[in-house]
Structure 1
Amino acid sequence: MSTKTIASAIKFSELTGLLEKIKKIQGKSSLDQKKRLLSNFIAKWREAHNTYYKGKATDDSFYSAMRLIMPHLEKERGPYGTKETMLAKSYISILQIGEESADGRKLKHFSAPKHTKGDESDFAGVAYYVLKDRLADKTSLTIQDVNDALDAIALANANKDKVLKEKKLLYLLQNTSALDNKWLIRMILRDMKLGFSQHSVFTTFHQDAEDYFNVCTSLQKVCQRLHNPSVRMHEIEITVFEPFRPMLGDRGQPNKVESLFGGKEFFIETKYDGERMQLHKDKDEYKYFSRGGLEYSKTYGANAFDGNFTPQIHNCFLPEVKSCILDGEMMAYDASTDTIMTKGGSFDVKVENLFDKKGYTPCMSIFDVLMFNGKVLTNLPLRERVKYLEEVLVPVQGRIMLGDRKLGKTKQDCADALNNAIDNREEGIMVKDPESIYKPNVRTGGWYKIKPEYVGGLMDELDLLIVGGYMGKGRRSNMMSHFLCAVAVPTDDGSHPKVFHSFCKVGTGYSIDELRQFNDEIDWLKYNKDKAPDCIVLAQGFKEKPDAWVPPSKAYIVQVKAAEITASRSFKTGYTLRFPRVEKFRTDKNWYDCMTTTELEDLRNKSQGKLAGRHADVSEESESPKKKRKLAPRQERATVASQFRGIDTSTVLKISEMFAGKEFSVINGSAKYSKQSLEKKIVEYGGTIVQNPSSDTYCVLAEKVALKVKNLISRNIYDIVKVDWFVRCFESNTYIPWVPSDMIHTSAITAERFAQEYDRYGDSYYNDTGTEQIKQAFAKIGEEKDGTSLMTEDVAEIEMKYFPDECPLGIFRLARVYVDVNHTVNNSESHIPNSPLEITSLDLRFYGATIADTIDDDVSHVVLHSGDVSRVKKFRDLNRKRDKKFHILTDTWVLDSIKSSRMMPERGYEPHC
């Protein structure tokens, strides 16, 4: 470089030496020590800067070092197009290492065990041990030299110039030490593994650095503007044509909004399922930026004549608008049905040819304005900012709209708005403090997002993180066809999760093309069971280890639909999903926004394991659960009659050790054996008794399902056994293992064991069946209220076992469908002869669905003809009254599902009236 900079006077080895020291510091005070080292380095840089420039204005700053310390945040330099495998090939070629030599194999198979030492488990660490005897200990390069070379590599990659790229890599390799190369590789891979968060780096540089980066998303601007640590950024600076991180909403619950706002009014807005987008306008020039700061001006149009969006909305702006910055949601609009499409459908609103492929057009809903004619509005309260929107533009349906907004004050207002969003298949609602100011990249500024999946039991769709893959067979060969999904363990400090617990395995719901595309977007790593990643925790003894895994920070969320959450020892959570299928690969969502273990437990408890969409009802949580738990024991103790109390066992003589070490709780006795006589027998045969069961209780004995038994059943953690089983044991003086017919209720663990040993009617898979067992099995079948439903789930289980990819004739196997061949919801009118829906009904049955004659409690789907939506409102009204919602769809959903050989996600097929 012709111009001298501070970076051209500081050796690159000084920076790598600093990084190595920071990496090695461990212990309780490690963070303070790391900050002190970095602070000293920055202070030395600033001192040199002040000495050299003597207060003169300059663009030279700490940016040259900062972009190397945090390369993952560097956006000025393009991608290098170089991963570990390509670097290994380049190093082998440049250093002329034999590919099959020990060092060559180490570089090519760096993730294999025993190739690394200490904590150097990444490619950079392996390369260090290969290079340390081949390279000089000192480097001649400065920080500026390294940045220039990396800029050249990025440019060569953009121009597809492999020769120049290799030449620059050779230049860096020949002029740096092995230690320098270790950190250089991490810079190229943009994964530093410092054990030092970006928050710590920012706060060490300047107390306002992270806040300002969230506004401008530019390391260069942060380093230039905040060079002096004593100068504060008192006001957030938002500049036209410069992207910033938008303000975000914290998760909320309808029943908590009143306490959140202290009884004051709040804004309720529709949360559309689109792409968060900033619109910047300066005279006749436009720019568009995504939530992550990526620019899409080429797609939408930089002026009134280019793109698929700007030409349509240019004249919507009022003449007096010279410049503005708008915050909103970009969606797809279907003009043929006058419908805003959800992002859950199979399209990307950011692609240029959206209109050509789907017949949709971009449509933007504006909900905030942050600049108006050069005036920054972020410090104004929201209620004042939204008034400016009317001075900015005239909305046009399907093009650019002002977000709908209404006032609310109670939790019922919030629940009603959420239920409307559920009916309209929208993503949810936003609840905002009218007095809130705009704080970029902040979740705690008075905005709350309330979505059905955040409220236990309202949704049957879960956002899970794909952390592992299983190699496919047949037409799915050479790619991962099934996926291991996990949920996040929340952190105490609210930071991004670092540990994930396995939850389920899913392998259906997507097309082969979607599967190929998804595999192409993931950089799979081979799973090594002897060196398993710490961030992904599997169940102990889990047999089906994945063939490959992906670091959570590079993984994608998948939207999974299922029928039920069931107990399982095969996954770390202790639970899994029954009949899971993929609704959509949500590559638009951040990896850390997946479901957490806390949310899973809350959902399981509130829905009793059953996953079915329903409406929000704040009255369900009107009474505090803590109150109920405190009151219940007092009420029970006050009403226990003498005949139900325990006996004094101090004088009972032990005659057997049959039940030694086992604790029982007897609720009631039989006609032959009272509660007291059973308790005496328990002690005689070596057991112990308690009046209230605990986690140590072996089982609960009961003859009648009384109130206390019902309460214990609702807790779903105890084995409740019939008295007859215990009587048979002591009368025969033999311990008899439980069988399903002995049980009033089974715990999750026992239920899982029974599922492996018995069919659903209690018939053993392993033991010979006698006359009595056959009678009990047939009696159990007779007790079931719906033989068809039982048979359906049995068939579905078989299909999942033998057709794991997707059973072609079982597309709708778990669906119970009401086909609207009649003219009214209550079926009071006669059947319509020759209705086109009769063919639809036959198609549904042929592909596995159960057809319901009426809309009973188990109906999951209602199908209408696409040409007649006159009764949609009546079905929606009926849906509101139900605990379990059904999907209201058109027959197009059936046809598309059959055509695709999979049950299509219901989103996008709802009729609009």
Structure 2
Amino acid sequence: MFDLAELGEPKNAQDPTFTFLVTLLFSKFDGTRKDNLGRFPSVMSKKIWIIEQFIDDFKLHIGEDMFPSSRLIFPSKSRRKFFIRDVTLARIIIKVFNIPKNSPDYLELYHWKHNYHEKKQYRRDQRQVRNLPSIIARIISNRRLTVVNDDNTSDGVKPLLYPKQRESEYTVTQINQLLDNLETCSGQTEQIEILKPYLYEMSIEEIRWLLTIILRQPILHHFITAFFNKWHPQAMLLFRICNDLKITFHTLYNSSVTLSTEDLLLHPMYPFLPQLSHKLTVNYNALCIKMHKNYDMPPKLQNIFDQQGVKEKFYIEEKMDGDRMLLHYKNGQFKFYLRRLKDYTLLYGENYEIGSLTKNLVGFVKPNVDSIVLDGEMVAWDYKREIILPFGTLKSAAIQEAVKQFTTTDQYDQQSSYPFFLAFDILHINGHDLCSSPLFYRRYLLNNLIVPKPHRLEILPAHLGGTPDDIRQAIREVISKQGEGVMIKHVQLKYHIETRSDNWIKVKPEYLEQFGENLDLVVIGKEPQIKPTYACGLLDTETGIFKSFCSVANGFTDKEFSLIDQLTHGKWHKFNKDPPPNDVLEFGTRKPNFWINPKESIVLEIKARSINLSPTSLYAVGTTLHNLWCRSIREDKSIDDCITLQDYLEVKEHYSKEFSKAQTVNRKRRGLGEQLSFEESRERRRKINVESKLFSKFCFIVLSDKFDEITGERTSVGSLCDLIKRFGGLLVQLPPTPTKLLERHQQLIVITERLTPNGSIYVNSGIDLILPKWIFECIYRDSIIPLEDEFIFQSCNNHDFSDKTDLWGDSWIVPSNIEMLEVPKMELAVEERETKEFINDLAIQESDQPMAFLFQGIKFLILANDEYGFLEDRVKRFGGNIVDNWPSASYIISDVRPLEVLGEVAHNLQWTENDLTFIPNTVTPAFVDECIKYNYLADATDFKPVEAR
């Protein structure tokens, strides 16, 4: 890279104290709230000011060497490894302070993660409930203040005489030495001896932040870039390519130091965060259009582009099931870094002489290559079966391959797998950074500079595609061999370190909606954490025993976690002390901490991406679900309404048969009932009482649940399906053929209020998407309400509904809800002035202003997809104005970073004598939702488009 010795060495006038960091940075930064902003307009602006003031004070009173302090300010970036998790730390504190067993403090520390959502309800500052250092600091503070007589210690709390008096404050150097010692010590006993004197003498705030550093929790969360840029304008750029605090702060210790462009390019042997991909969010047609977009290039690259015939094409690569790995090579030396910067060189090898992989890579590059950086996937190859093994087997294969070099026995001969690196990109060659080069050129270099080593290091094949059918065919091939998925890459894609690119899309089978299933499951176990995991089971109707089937921890809100605690309070049994009866519950090798009798439990509606067809011993059923989350808590259902083991086995059989068949291309050809869903399978055994034949002439496909913006209530897909069946409707998974619809004298209705890949296909096929509220309106009026704009989510035939509403868009038939009416606009200047005075009076009195004035005086430029004006209506309903140019806008609303508009903004910036001209904030549509939800203007920096972060 560059020689630090040539740049000089930074020096400090004095060694900063730990108290200096705690007082002027940590506590001030953490204590910033919306209710103590003072003269600052937002939390973000005040936090940035705190950082700037700290750095100014540091340079004025301390000096130029920020590196020792930075190791404490950025604990997760310092590369220290203490091997102390939160649970371990809680145990250490118990022993350091001799906290009596079963005392309140002991129980709170020992089980600090348990019942988090129940305790949270009774704390004003809910953040502190999940913050272990804060909990420990509070407990130590209370015990220091405790004063009891020697004869009155029945509660187990003994008087504490801490903190001990110390002659001087701990310096940053001393704290770093403490942490270095803690990193190299072995065993909990030694850890306690090292920490004990510091915990006895430090103040409560110092203890809190010391423990935060030991747990490697972020302190300046989301403001790391602000700190680096304040220290030196090039500091963040340098840190991104080396991820080394010492190099960054010892190189850029003085603002007069300026690095060249070459210094800030990618360098081999230094870790960096790789580029990441986006998930598929549009249909294949839209994806192809995006991937066909061409960008201007220099003539030399344009010639290669034309010769390779990649115009209006894109790369299709198989997504491998392994570890994302960056391979660095320079003059015979290797480095291997995971995507999270973890160094795996020791495992895979640092030279040709030793290592589970590198000893087999001699000659993997052309003779003229001195240095190279490859991006790829590390997998495990089984040479006996000649297959790539599933994720999770790689590390054991690498370890045993490495151990073979140091053993003379044949105990590892049975190991038939070893590491296998599949390269899909080249980022550096002989001192030249290739990140700004287009992908087709990088692939060209990759194929010409790498000498493949069969099943050790090879180039991942990339096929050219150009149509939706090419993507579908690739997906079919992946599904047929149960692969991970495919990557779709723009041929002109540039490599962006540490960011996600929308020109790099991953398509996994489980992202496709037709593989998803909704099912109701009963909770039978729990693993209590801050984010609890609930075990769900299936009833075996032949034996009457519930068998464990899956575990779910995602999809819950804090409110739902609390509701589950309320509904199941006092019904849990500890598994190791009171195991469940064998005739009630049966678990696999994964046992929960607590179990509950299914008759006393609750029902969850689970959404699963797919069925995991591979056998597993973790659950008693023998298989499980893949990529699942909770849709809702079904208080309206009992365990008798849940899917049974026999239901599941029937659907699994059909699922296995359909697993390798075509997906989207064949959907229109399938007839009704060719593939069973969980819902259909359960309906064969359970009848639902039909109250009316209101919907008897319709068959429904329900794609999403219903959310009421006014009440905040959500109606799940399962509840909508039950409602449709109660009123005589027929539910189908796939559109019946037109012939079958005519035979049944039925009409197809697709219900949704969210755009999904399948929804786009229906619209393109001429099928309207109807909002769920149409169902409720029909039931309320006991008649089929004609379709109007109010009930249409998306349609190719919007003009057909325009004559069914008045000039304000209100229905002639359905009365408008008063909450949904727009606020009358004030047109007279007098009224506008009175409105402003009214709002100012509310602000002075610290009163909440009415929601009708939420966006009063604020102008929005909408560049996001708002085809039917829903976003514009919401802005206007709450007092905002819509403009068509950026100079007059307060906010620019865009789904992605509006490059052309921002380029125009940057080009037209002007500086006045005192300040810069106004620059509008760029936010996503979620900004509007957040403002309306909480009736305040949210922080725009939290809603920047992904590319703008």
Q: Given the two structures, how large is their TM-score scaled by the length of structure 1?
A: 0.52
Match among 268, 271, 275 for residue 243 of structure 1 = 271
* Distance (whole Å) between structure 1 residues aligned to residue 275 and residue 97 of structure 2: 49
2:78 to 74, 80, 97: 74
Deviation readout 1:413-434 (Å, 9 max, x if unpaired): 1222222233343322221111
The CA deviation string for residues 556-596 of structure 1, in whole angstroms up to 9 with x for no partner, is: xx9xxxxxxxxxx945546579998876799xxxxxx9567
Residues in 2 aligned to 1:693 and 1:88: alpha-carbon distance in whole angstroms:
48
- Work out whether 1:128 is the aligned partner of 2:148: no
Query: Which residue in the other structure is 1:665 paired with?
Result: 694
The 1:172–1:330 alpha-carbon spacing in structure 2 relative to 1, beyond 3 Å, is same
Equivalent position to 1:331, from 379, 392, 396? 379
Q: Is residue 2:390 matched to residue 1:361? A: no
2:289 maps to which of 259, 272, 276: 259
Alignment partner of 1:147 out of 165, 169, 176: 176
Cα distance in 1 for partners of 2:238, 2:538 equals 42
CA contact (8 A) 1:460 1:613 kept: no
* 3-state SS in 2 of match to 1:439: coil
Equivalent residue in structure 2 for 1:389, among 446, 454, 459? 446
The 5-angstrom pairing of residues 714-753 of structure 1 reads none
Q: Deviations over 1:812-840 (max 9, x none)?
A: xxxxxxxxxxxxxxxxxxxxxxxxxxxxx
**1:32 and 1:250, CA in 2 relative to 1: closer, same or farther beyond 3 A?**
farther
Which whole-Å CA distance do the structure 1 matches of 2:235 and 2:561 have between them? 32
Contact 1:299/1:307 (8 A) holds in 2:
yes
What amino acid is aligned across from residue 394 of structure 1 in structure 2? Answer: V
| SS across alignment from 2:335 | strand
Q: Shift of the alpha carbon at 1:358?
A: 2.9
More displaced stretch, 41-50 vs 371-380: 41-50
RMSD: 5.5
Letter in 2 for 1:127: I
Change (3 A) 1:105 1:331: closer
Task: Please give the secondary structure, in 2, of the residue aligned with 1:446.
Answer: strand
Whether the aligned pair in 2 keeps the contact of 1:275 and 1:330 (CA below 8 Å) is yes
Q: 1:585 to 1:667 in 2, by over 3 A?
A: closer
Deviations along 1:761-780, whole A, 9 cap, x unmatched? xxxxxxxxxxxxxxxxxxxx
* Aligned equivalent of 1:24, options 23, 31, 54: 31
- From 19, 25, 28, give the equivalent of 1:12: 19
Q: Distance in 2 between matches of 1:183 and 1:571?
A: 42
CA contact (8 A) 2:52 2:227 kept: no
Partner of 2:353, secondary structure, is coil
Matches within 5 A, 1:605-624: 611=655, 612-619=658-665
After superposition, where does 1:305-324 map in structure 2 within 5 Å?
A: 305-324=353-372
Distance 2:660 2:140 in 1: 61
Measure the CA separation in 2 of the matches of 1:171 and 1:152.
14
Query: Taking structure 1 as reference, are residues 313 and 506 closer, same or farther at Cα in structure 2, changes over 3 Å only?
Result: farther
Contact 1:25/1:33 (<8 A) preserved = no
The 1:53/1:226 distance shift into structure 2, 3 A limit, reads: same
Secondary structure of 1:145's match? helix
- Separation in 1 of the partners of 2:35 and 2:179? 36
SS class of match (1:68): helix
TM-aligned CA distance change 1:595 to 1:388, over 3 Å: farther
Q: Secondary structure at the match of 1:245?
A: coil
Looking at structure 2, the residues matched to 439 and 21 of structure 1 have their Cα atoms a distance apart, in angstroms, of 34
Distance 1:434 1:152 in 2: 50
| Residue in 2 that maps onto 1:295 | 343
What's the counterpart of residue 902 of structure 2?
none
TM-superposed CA distance for 1:219, in Å, is: 4.2
Q: Structure 1 residue 331: deviation in Å?
A: 1.8
Does residue 498 of structure 2 align to residue 441 of structure 1? yes
The CA deviation at 1:13 is: 5.2
State yes or no: 1:169 paired with 2:178: no
Residue 694 of structure 2 aligns to a residue whose secondary structure is strand
User: In 2, are the aligned partners of 1:35 and 1:200 still within 8 Å (CA)?
Assistant: no
Deviation readout 1:771-816 (Å, 9 max, x if unpaired): xxxxxxxxxxxxxxxxxxxxxxxxxxxxxxxxxxxxxxxxxxxxxx
Alignment CA distance shift 1:666-1:214 (3 Å) = same
* 1:820-859 matched pairs, under 5 angstroms: none
Aligned to 1:217: 243
Map Cα deviations across residues 481-510 of structure 1 (whole Å, 9 max, x no partner).
xx99xxxxxxxxxxxxx99997955999xx
Q: Using the alignment, how far apart are the partners of 1:504 and 1:194 within structure 2?
A: 39
| Aligned mate of 1:180, from 206, 230, 234 | 206
* Pair 451,694 (structure 1): closer, same or farther in 2 beyond 3 Å: closer
- Distance of aligned partners of 1:288 and 1:540 in 2 relative to their CA distance in 1, 3 Å threshold: closer
1:265-280 alignment runs, 5 A limit: 265-280=313-328
Contact 2:137 2:204 in 1 (8 A): yes
Q: 1:110-149, CA deviations, whole angstroms, 9 ceiling, x for partnerless residues?
A: 5577799643324323332333335459971233322221
Q: Is the CA contact 2:13–2:62 (under 8 Å) kept in the aligned structure 1? A: no
CA distance in 1, matches of 2:389, 2:20: 54
Query: Against the structure 1 CA distance between its residues 582 and 36, is the aligned structure 2 distance closer, same or farther, given a 3 Å change threshold?
Result: farther
Query: Which residue number in structure 1 is paired with residue 432 of structure 2?
Result: 375
Q: 1:232 to 1:152 in 2, by over 3 A?
A: same
What residue in structure 2 maps to residue 808 of structure 1?
none
**Partner amino acid for 2:468?**
K
Pairs within 5 Å for 1:566-577: 570-571=602-603, 573=605
Q: Deviations over 1:76-117 (max 9, x none)?
A: x221x4345554554455445555655555554555777996
Q: 2: distance between equivalents of 1:577 and 1:445?
A: 23
Identity, % of aligned positions: 21
> What is the CA–CA distance in structure 1 between the aligned matches of 2:31 and 2:538, rounded to whole Å?
40
Residues 1:304 and 2:361 are matched in the alignment: no
Distance 1:382 1:331, change over 3 A: same
| Closer, same or farther: CA 407–10 of 1 in aligned 2, 3 Å | same
Native 8 Å contact 1:316 1:395 kept in 2: yes
Q: Alpha-carbon deviation of 1:329? A: 1.4
Contact 1:135 1:177 in 2 (8 A): no
**CA spacing shift, 1:259–1:439, aligned 2, 3 Å:** same
Cα pair distance change 1:304/1:716, threshold 3 Å: closer
- CA distance in 1 between counterparts of 2:75 and 2:292 reads 44
Residues 268-312 of structure 1 show CA distances to partners (whole Å, capped at 9, x for unaligned) of 222222222122111121222222222222222211111121121
**In 1, Cα distance between equivalents of 2:476 and 2:427:** 30
Q: 1:435 to 1:131 in 2, by over 3 A?
A: same
Whole-Å separation in 2 of the counterparts to 1:117 and 1:306: 56
2:426 counterpart letter in structure 1: V
2:512 alignment partner, one of 441, 455, 460 = 455
Which stretch of the first structure deviates more once superposed, 533-542 or 331-340?
533-542
Normalising by structure 2, report the TM-score: 0.50
Instruction: Indicate conservation of the 8 Å contact 1:199/1:210, yes or no.
Output: yes
Would the alpha carbon gap of residues 126 and 162 (structure 1) be closer, same or farther in structure 2, given more than 3 Å must change? same
Aligned to 2:500, the other structure's residue is in SS state coil
1:426 aligns with 2:483: yes
Deviates more, 1:89-98 or 1:269-278: 89-98
Post-superposition offset of 1:321:
1.3
